[in-house]
Structure 1
Amino acid sequence: MTPDDFIRTWSGNPLSERASAQSHFRDLCALLGIDPPSPLTAGTFEFEKGAGKTTGGDGWADVWLKDAFAWEYKKTKANLDAAYAQVQRYAPALDHPPLLIVSDTQAIVLRTAFTGAVQERHDIAIDDLRDAATRDLLCRAFEDPLSFRPRRTRADLTEDAAATFADLALRLRQSGHAAGEVAHFVNRLVFCMFAEDVNLLPEKMFQKMVIVSDPASFEENCRDLFRAMATKGGKIGYTPIPWFNGGLFDDETVLPVTADDIGMLRKAAKMDWSQIDASLLGTLFERGLDPDKRSQLGAHYTDAAKIMQIVDPVVLRPLKAEWEAARAIIAAALQEERDAKAEAARTRAAAKSGAQTRRANRAHETAVKAHLGFLERLRAVRVLDPACGSGNFLNLALTALKDLEHRVSLDAEALGLPRPAPQVGPECVLGIELNPYAAELARVSTWIAEIQWMRRNGFEASKDPILKPLGTIECRDAVLGADGTAADWPAAEFIIGNPPFLGNKRMVGELSEGYAMSLRAAWPEVPGGADLVAYWVAGAWQAIAAGRTRRAGLVTTNSIRGGANRTVLTKPAEAGAIFEAWSDEPWTVAGAAVRVSMVMLGEPTTNSRPRLDGTEVERIAADLTAGLDLTTAERLGENKGVAFQGPVKVGASPAADYANDPRAEAIAAAAWVLNEKREAWLNPPELVRREPEVVEGYPDRILPKDEAAAKELKKRTLTKLYNARPAWLAGLHDRLDAAVADAYGWPADISEDDALAHLLELNRARAAR
């Protein structure tokens, strides 16, 4: 078929959607030189893909090509935006194809749907198909759909937006405005631009407002807009404004701005705010709004996949298991309904037929009850982040819960039940955050995440008001109450989060001596030498032990595995309640790469074993190891006066007995070489100079040769060296390990688990003497 043949056949097509869809698509395939769907392509390339296969109704997409596109047809001159909303709603059931395409035979609209990427749109009118480049573009949708992936990510867009508003926030702070006022005002502006780009604010109202460069006029117009958004029935002139409220527009306060500020807002308003990444928005804007965190602008942030390592096992996994059980009940009940109806149709006896009809009705009621009951249960879920920061954990948890609710409805629809509108909303997430900047950003980003999810899945945002109050995200101390007692947490089925990292020895300097003393007095179950994060672990375990919480998952410092910190994991470990853990994982804190432990506590599982670092194990000990519980090792009396801790020597008898032992000499030689090579990497001769210390007997001072050397030396830390672990370093450690193994009479290649087992055995034998 030639382009002219195709255009002549389909121009002004008067047929209905059902009458024309498959014929149009087959002709389009002929035009593009592509084989259309057939019985041979079932499961990969189909017409009427989806629910129709089970219920006898229409499919979820008129055409579906696996890992490529879902294509929805409408009759000529129909609303293609409605068609797009429909295909969005069913995208999860179609394995989230990267392209979503709608057509009315006169036009084709192709939209990209790649996770994390800015969406792009391609509009093709029927006459455009004469152009070979246009036909090539359509061919790519079939043959190379990944080529449509946009280069610009939503994270890129969000970073640009955050950097822009950071400058405005800084100028407003330098003008003498209080930090809280600046954050509140800037968040309002951000939300107005987002609301405009998702068509909640009509007629590009904010963009029109910033075209005026006169600051006084801008401030007056801003007040009018905020007032209209705060009240039901508000108007700007003759234009009705939706009711937003939610606490963000609680008054009409506007901070004074300059003409330069308005110019910046004019530029920002042209960005596509509908596509900003809500899970990053809070983090990036907090860095810009909070003077203490501006140095983190441009630094790394934690990606969603890392956060989901906690959200998935803690929140989603048990809920999905519950749904699978409910789904089995629904499937069995609907099958019984079908069987009863078939039996009623076959029988001639009226009484018997009536019994089968009643049986069918009871079965249907059972299925409906199981479906709606699970949805109600899902809407009652509460997820608490007691150190929520600017809300990235809460945003991802909310999105995951809404995804699950939508999946449940699609599953039920495939079985033959009606699909209700989504009801899971921001009220499902609870937060506690001390920093007022972060607390407000958590609320704003959660609202945005909710609205984006609704739009992305083909639903309208909630109304009257659009923004439901989010008093569930509280601004207060999460571990110490105003009365000096341990702070209360709201009841929640699940607890997740990334509590603050602050070492025990820095708590007094950072938090004040009075606060640190009060905190320790309020939490007697947490030892005095524990890091700050341990108080959140203790709080989560208290909530679980008291029955207020089902599961918890927290990111902690990897020092949680030892010393005083480990104490807060002793009781959960003894109860078999550490059901999953990642002992040593990369993470980002305050823009810096660190190593952390992720610990998940809760109800012991009966049908699956604990998982440590992604592998099933028999149990997880308090030190986040499997198998051997090294926390049971005892102090040995015979070592008193012999061993030493660091440079604080408490025994001198470390050393004369072993000075001439060949095994000790081998260990010393290996350790000396390791230290020399490591020191040479940390302080290479070409970058440093050595000067004698003022006090005789102390090591030389190591100083950078110049400013360039100083910058380079800052990059050379033991943490970075060991995170990279180059081959030479690994080899030197292997040599030292082999020397130590030989001293014990072990093979050089002994595994770490075997070595620990031998040491524990020696410890127990000596302790028993």
Structure 2
Amino acid sequence: MTPDEFIIKWQRATLKERAAAQEHFCDLCQLLNELTPAAADPTGAVYCFKHGTIKTTGGQGWADVWKSGHFGWEYKSAGKNLDQALKRLQFYAPALNHPPLLIVSDMEQIIIHTAFTGTVPDQYTLTLNDLRDPSKLQLLKWAFSDPEKLRPIDTTAALTERAARQFSEWAAALRQRGHDSAAVAHFSQQLLFCLFAQDIGLLPNQLFTRLLENGLKYPAQVEQMLTNLLDTMATGGLFGSEAIDWFNGGLFAEVQPLPLETADLKTLHSFTKLNWSAIEPSIFGTLFERGLDPKQRAQLGAHYTDPNSIMRLVAPVVLMPLRKEWQSVQKEMLQLKTAADAAKSPTVRDKQLTKLRALLTGMLERLNQFHVLDPACGAGNFLFLALKGLKDLEHEIILAGEQFGLMRASPTVSPHNVLGIEKNHYAAELARVTVWIGEIQWMLQHGFSLSKNPILKPINSIEQRDAVVNADGSEPDWPTADVIIGNPPFLGGSKKRGLLGDDYFTALETIYAGRVPAGADLVCYWFEKARAQIETGKARAAGLVATQAIRNNSNRSVLERILQQTRIFHAWSNERWTNDGANVHVAFICFGQSKLPTVLNGQVVNRIYADLTGQAAGDLNCDVTNAQPLPENVATCFEGIKKYGAFDIDGTLARQWLTTPNPAGHHNQDVIKQWRNAQDMMGRGQDQWIIDFGVNRSEQEAACYELPFEYVQLHVRTIRAQQSNERLRRLWWLHERPRTDMRRALNTLPRYIATPRVAKHRIFIWCESGIIPDTRLLVIARADDVNFGVLTSRIHHIWSLATCAWHGGQGATYNANTCFATFPFPIGLTPADTANHAIETLNSGAIIPSVAIEYRAHAIVIAKAAHQLNQLRDHWLNPPDWIDRVPEVVAGYPDRIIAKPEYAAQLKQRALTNLYNQQPAWLVNAHQQLDQAVAAAYGWPTELTDAEILQRLLQLNQARVE
């Protein structure tokens, strides 16, 4: 069939929809050289007419034509409303497996609506005469054969990001002119809703665009015009000759437009060209975050949260348990339907159908009464996605009811299902706007008409108040809800008092005494409150976001308290997150009553511990959160000095001072030390030195070292004088934490062991005693190769990874109290056994401590293996043929390592991080030899798995504590 033949035939046709639809479609197939449904798929499994016809209810089916993965197609008679046909397809889209194209036709025209997930919808309208145009005919051909060719280029994410950026820049211009940030945020929300309402047809005939165009002509009148429009939206009525619906909802209760300049109006007018109907509601959160004073963000928890991350909590806490319930109900319904169809007696049949209807009604009522609480709701993104998920599930259930032959139910899930608590007034308002927008978008995208009078129903369930401290200093109550979700504010424990104030900090300490440690991060209070809601029956489960610090140190106690009562059933322990423009790493934690399997980082496990590690199926119980510090390890591991000021200097300046005399005869060598930090240790040293006046040298004594003292006066004193800490101000020439105990422990040692606090690879090295370690290094006050070997072994590495904290994406954080103090060394070789520092040098050069005779053989084997490993590493790091060793300008310091010119570039690559990234065979072999020696000292076989080693270490720890 040619285009002309098709056009002539259907221009003359006067058949009604039912008589004409299938013939019209078959003619199109002939025109496009495509197979008809019956020819392409005789079974109708993936391509057919009247897909989903339900004879028991006399329904028309889900679509007049359906081709899986391509389109749903609905016909109407000429002159009928094709918008109604589109709504029908939108309603049944889930039953049609969400086709990427929704096509409607009245025989005189064909309209293709794109419905690709995550894209801004496009629309193509083809009249009969358009079919003569090969390019337009190609659109139809693609619908049948290659719908991907019709996928819109613009995604909703890209559109949302673009709109958020442009609008936030517009709002920033208002703030820069001195307008209050909250007033700008409120006004912006109202204008954003106007843009959205216009694009979905609630503001008719491009009303807002025309208002802005008139405002550009009459700028003096624009403030009044905006006031009139917003006031009319608050109550409903006429705006000029246009009838405006009653919007209400509180968004327009307070109308105070800010003065706009011509440039503001032009920019605002340019926004009308964007498709605001497709904007993700999360844009409002982004806008609000950028519209606030940055100093408030930490307290408010107001920041953009990406939907995929939110769903990691919403899915297991809200949706997966409900879907599991629905699957069980469906199974019962199927059994009842089968029994009803087989019943010979009408009475029996009616009885089965009554039970069937009751099950469906009960499940829908279950959703209607399901409540989700976000007690730190910010812009409402969590509530929006939870509501969307609930509405999707309700829609699925309604469609299933039709498939069972029941009459279509009406949706009842609405904003009443979501509850929120938000401290900031405008953030609480914004959460309501986000939920409103999300509800409206969902209804329109699924073929439902909006209820009116008012359009924006009041959402009183989102309360504006503090979630963890009342104004009178008492503990707030949270409303009863089925589940709790949210992203409480990220604020470290050390920053709470400074940002929240003394009164608020004191209230937290008082209210949560014995429940949350005073030094815990702010997020911990939300975890404790959620736990208490579950304990008292006011919630069943919770899913909250926290920084990774939740599983470390004092913070972890709130998770331990949760595990005493219930379980963590779903968690992601280390996920990247963007907060306030910075990449941080967070944990998603779901806990409470749930029948779901226990899942950690996407893998099913037997249990999840308080440190967010897990016991995999078949593994041993290795909950190292129960490990306790051992007396035998005390006073051995220390954190390096903390400067608090520019005490560090480069080597050139240091050597100049070392050879410069002082008037009083003091030698600068007393206070100029080599300094090493974690970067020096894992890379090539940067020739860094430090001014170190010790732990108790007076200001008068420090002044005797003329040049170093003047340097500290110039570079440190002013900064220290500005600090609130009295000691920092008063003792400005001393380091903030000079580590008296560490210096005392190192005083008699020729060398000591060090490891970075945060590192990708857990590596220990030797430092000569005169080198000052930075706070990012942990120091072990031992000089023998036995301690060095045990710490470097796989056995200690496994323990350190299990007991460490995690520092974002940078690596494991070694901690003196958890990693070292709890580690059970082999019997007879513990730090206590080697505490007298009496050492012996073997012929090999290895050094062993003085230990009991029965442990000497193991000490020798470990020391030799450790010494050999260290020598191999040193030769790789500094090949003798590549370097020169140059004595320092004065005695008492390690030699300088200088690269020979021809090897300078190669030597730069010789760093411990690079070495352990490469893992050459000689390194692996040396470590294996050491591991065998250490395992023998424990009396263990070398073939143990990591889990077996961890369990044995935990048992040793527990036995020695007892």
How far apart are residue 242 of structure 1 and its match? 0.4
CA distance in 1, matches of 2:876, 2:354: 73
Aligned equivalents of 2:201, 2:220: Cα separation in 1: 27
**Count of residue pairs the alignment pairs up:** 707
Does the 8 Å CA contact 1:395/1:446 hold for their aligned counterparts? Answer: yes
Kindly indicate whether the alpha-carbon contact (under 8 Å) linking 1:111 and 1:120 is maintained by their aligned counterparts in 2: yes
Q: CA deviation at 1:437?
A: 4.0
- What is the 5 A alignment of 1:167-178? 167-178=169-180
Matches within 5 A, 1:259-658: 259-278=262-281, 280-292=282-294, 302-340=305-343, 343=344, 356-524=345-513, 525-605=515-595, 608-627=596-615, 628-645=622-639, 648=739, 651=745, 654-658=781-785
- Kindly report which structure 2 residues correspond to 1:174-213, keeping only aligned pairs within 5 A, or say none: 174-212=176-214, 213=216
RMSD, matched Cα: 3.2
Q: Which amino acid aligns with 2:181?
A: A
Q: Are the aligned partners of 1:287 and 1:294 in contact in 2 as well (CA < 8 Å)?
A: no
Query: Residue type matched to 1:632 in 2?
Result: N
Local SS of the residue matching 1:644: strand
Segment of structure 1 superposing worse, 172-181 or 559-568: 172-181
Q: CA deviation at 1:67?
A: 1.4
State the match for 1:744 in structure 2: 934
**Worse-matched range after superposition: 574-583 or 735-744:** 735-744
Deviation per CA, 1:291-330, whole angstroms, max 9, x where unpaired? Answer: 428999xx99543222111111100011112222222333
Amino acid at match of 2:180: A
Structure 1 SS opposite 2:95: helix
For residues 596-619 of structure 1, what are the alpha-carbon distances to aligned partners after superposition, in whole Å with 9 as ceiling and x for unaligned? 1111011142xx531111121111
CA apart distance, 1:365: 2.3
- Return closer, same or farther for 1:642/1:561 CA change in 2, 3 Å cut-off: same
- The residue correspondences of 1:247-262 to structure 2 (distance < 5 A) are 247-262=250-265
Deviations 1:258-296 (A, max 9, x none): 222222221112322111111x21232123322428999
SS of the aligned residue for 1:547 comes to coil
How many Å separate the matches in 1 of 2:571 and 2:15?
59
Residues 555 and 165 of structure 1: is their aligned pair in 2 closer, same or farther, counting only changes over 3 Å? same
**Is the partner of 2:638 in helix, strand or coil?**
coil
Please list the CA deviations of residues 517-556 of structure 1 after superposition, one character each: whole Å capped at 9, or x if unmatched: 3212211201123211111111111111111001111111
Deviation at 1:33, TM superposition (A): 1.3
What displacement does 1:671 show? Answer: 8.6
Q: Which amino acid aligns with 1:644?
A: F
Give the structure 2 partner of residue 144 of structure 1.
146
- Indicate if the aligned counterparts of 1:390 and 1:439 stay in contact, CA closer than 8 A: yes
In the TM superposition, what is the alpha-carbon distance from 1:744 to its structure 2 partner?
2.9
Instruction: Say which SS state the counterpart of residue 89 (structure 2) adopts.
Output: helix
Query: Corresponding residue for 1:757?
Result: 951
Q: Is the 8 A contact 1:51 1:413 kept in 2?
A: no
Distance 2:580 2:483 in 1: 25
Q: What is the match of residue 66 of structure 1?
A: 68
- CA–CA distance in structure 2, aligned partners of residues 514 and 244 of structure 1: 41
Structure 2-normalised TM-score? 0.69
Deviation string, structure 1 residues 10-63 (Cα, Å, up to 9, x no partner): 224211222122211111111111112124353221221124377663220111
Aligned to 1:686: none
CA distance in 2: counterparts of 1:624 and 1:328, whole angstroms = 36
Aligned to 1:715: none
CA contact (8 A) 1:433 1:473 kept: yes
Q: Which amino acid aligns with 2:600?
A: L
Match of 1:235 among 233, 238, 262: 238
From 115, 118, 122, the equivalent of 1:116 is 118
User: Which residue type is aligned with residue 665 of structure 1?
Assistant: H
CA drift at 1:466? 0.4
Equivalent residue, structure 1, for 2:859: none
* Residue type at the aligned position of 2:326: W
Choose between structure 1 and 2: higher helix proportion: 1
Is contact 2:523–2:546 with CA below 8 Å preserved after alignment?
Answer: yes
Which amino acid in the other structure matches residue 626 of structure 1? G
**What is the CA–CA distance in structure 2 between the aligned matches of 1:674 and 1:515, rounded to whole Å?**
56
Residue-by-residue CA offset, 1:590-646 (whole Å, 9 max, x unaligned): 2322221111011142xx531111121111111122222111222212112333345
**2:139–2:150 contact (8 Å) kept in structure 1:** no
Q: Separation in 2 of the partners of 1:117 and 1:376?
A: 33
Partner Cα distance (2:109, 2:398) in 1: 31
- Check 1:763–1:667 CA distance in 2 against 1; reply closer, same or farther (3 A cut): farther
Aligned-partner Cα distance in 2 for 1:375–1:581: 29
CA distance in 1, matches of 2:92, 2:870: 66
What CA distance in whole angstroms lies between the structure 2 residues aligned with 1:603 and 1:291?
39
Kept after mapping to 1: 8 A contact 2:182/2:292 = no
Say whether the 8 Å CA contact 1:50–1:60 is kept in structure 2: yes
Measure, in 1, the Cα distance between the counterparts of 2:496 and 2:871: 39
For residue 60 of structure 2, give the secondary structure of its aligned residue in structure 1: coil
CA distance 1:399–1:367, shift in 2 (3 Å): same
Mapped contact 2:57–2:406 kept (Cα < 8 A): no
Question: Structure 1 residues 764 and 102, CA, compared in 2 at 3 Å: closer, same or farther?
Answer: same
Q: Does the C-alpha gap of structure 1 residues 750 and 199 become closer, same or farther in structure 2, counting only changes over 3 Å? A: farther
Q: Compute the displacement of 1:471 (Å).
A: 2.6
Residue by residue over 1:356-392, the C-alpha shift from the partner in whole angstroms, topping out at 9 and shown as x without a partner, is: 3333333322222221222122111111111112121
Instruction: Tell whether the 8 Å contact from 1:663 to 1:742 is kept in structure 2 after alignment.
Output: no
CA contact (8 A) 1:163 1:288 kept: no
- Partner SS, residue 549 of structure 1: coil
2: CA distance between counterparts of 1:609 and 1:202?
51
Q: Hey, what's the Cα distance between the residues in 2 that align with 1:674 and 1:64?
A: 68
Given that 1:90 and 1:410 are in contact with CA atoms closer than 8 Å, whether structure 2 keeps it comes out as yes
Judging changes above 3 Å, is the alpha-carbon distance between structure 1 residues 492 and 640 closer, same or farther for their aligned structure 2 residues? same
- Contact 1:741 1:747 (8 Å CA) reproduced: no
The one-letter code of the counterpart of 1:265 is L
TM-score when normalising by structure 1:
0.85
Match in the other structure for 1:665? 867
Instruction: Indicate if the aligned counterparts of 1:300 and 1:592 stay in contact, CA closer than 8 A.
Output: no
The verdict on how the C-alpha distance between 1:456 and 1:623 changes in structure 2, with shifts beyond 3 A counting, is same
Q: Give ranges in structure 2 of 5+ residues lacking alignment.
A: 616-621, 642-738, 750-780, 787-846, 848-862, 879-887, 897-910
> Structure 1 counterpart of 2:637, which letter?
A
How many Å separate the matches in 2 of 1:321 and 1:270? 44
Contact persistence 1:581–1:613 (CA under 8 A):
yes
1:115 counterpart letter in structure 2: T
Residues 300, 591 of structure 1: 8 Å contact kept: no
Distance in 1 between the 2:390 and 2:628 partners?
A: 46
Find out whether 1:766 has 2:960 as its counterpart.
Answer: yes
Larger radius of gyration: 2
Bigger drift between 243-252 and 661-670 goes to 661-670
- Counterpart of 1:710 in structure 2 is none
User: Residue 243 of structure 2 aligns to which amino acid in structure 1?
Assistant: P
The 2-side partners of 1:398 and 1:437 are apart by 21
Identity of matched residues, %:
43
Q: Which moved more, 1:124-133 or 1:35-44?
A: 35-44
Contact kept? 1:666, 1:739, Cα under 8 Å: no
